[in-house]
Structure 1
């Protein structure tokens, strides 16, 4: 199992409030500073505390939803600690692996990912030797479909597009294969032109560790005995005979 990071929090402090404040954050939200896509819908915003008549207990502005992969909070840290005259403001960004992959690189270069979190974070570049921010990779989602569902979908697709009135999934390629065999100079016994492909598939299936019962179903054999001709090609064939024969119980001396 590969280790992964499920959450990491990054923060930046302006101890005297000379460039960072909750009012600045609100202005950035209004001007699209938290939206990467041009014309995209801005993330949800919340104003916490007394914004109409600040009482010195500290205000907070949050952008995003806590359950999402990214959430940022700006708050008057000094005032929340009890200093009503403090200008100390903190920005905290929570990254979660909800739909992104949190790269271990963030442990070595946290500032890069802090700057890359939102467009408005560009202003913090002046505090370090960093030219551009980095963003976490979005998780790739793959649809899962089983064999029966895939076969059904393919047959319906072919019928709907008049590919094959019989409902067969693939068209016959016997002619093309016959020509290729002739040009290659391979000599086959009569009646073995395409049947040799079944033998080749079955042989390699077992040599790669395939299951004999699965092979029976793929080849369409009604009897397992017919499929057993390929059993000797399995890499673990006769392993039980080596391990369970009477000689293994003999002791010498």
Structure 2
């Protein structure tokens, strides 16, 4: 490959490098999709989705243009590579791409309104930060209104640097919050194990990584000597 100087743009990501920090965002792409879908001048909102209000099938509501809905979802999915703050909301709306209704389109529009007010957010990587691998695991028990499945959520940090995050619906219906939290913990552990192996190639040993879980029963199961993970230490945060 030919040298093109300091990296400033890569696969849609804008990279700003300074002596003490690296900042990655997609504010130009945000401006493009806001203009494309005519949201550049709308009223903004402080959150990407309404709290404590799950999306449902809403079969009695009017249908909306499927192509428009899928186009908006596709644009937002590409943006989640640098915007973990909208990942959960986008994934929730993406589940209704087959027969979207007016309520679903309203939820997608709320994400765009949020982006209009928070277009310049991104990933902040300070130089002066501890270089310890930590992970956080959580689950939204039975949060999917269509099939009552839970949603696995997790993120991994190197010090104060967010390097990986997940938001995915679990494959089976869990019978309890404990079970859903344990599945989320296992998923998080798998991601941590992958990061550990990757970092070994660079000479960094993170074989004693903390995973923070907010469910005491799940922590007890993880610490069971018959089920425990040998390279993980678990902390409780309520």
TM-score class, shorter: under 0.3
Question: Which structure has the higher relative contact order (CA within 8 Å, separation 6+)?
Answer: 2
More strand by share: 2
- Point out the structure with the larger helix share: 1
Q: Look at both structures and tell me which one has the larger radius of gyration over its CA atoms.
A: 1
TM-score with structure 2 length normalisation? 0.21
TM-score (norm 1): 0.20
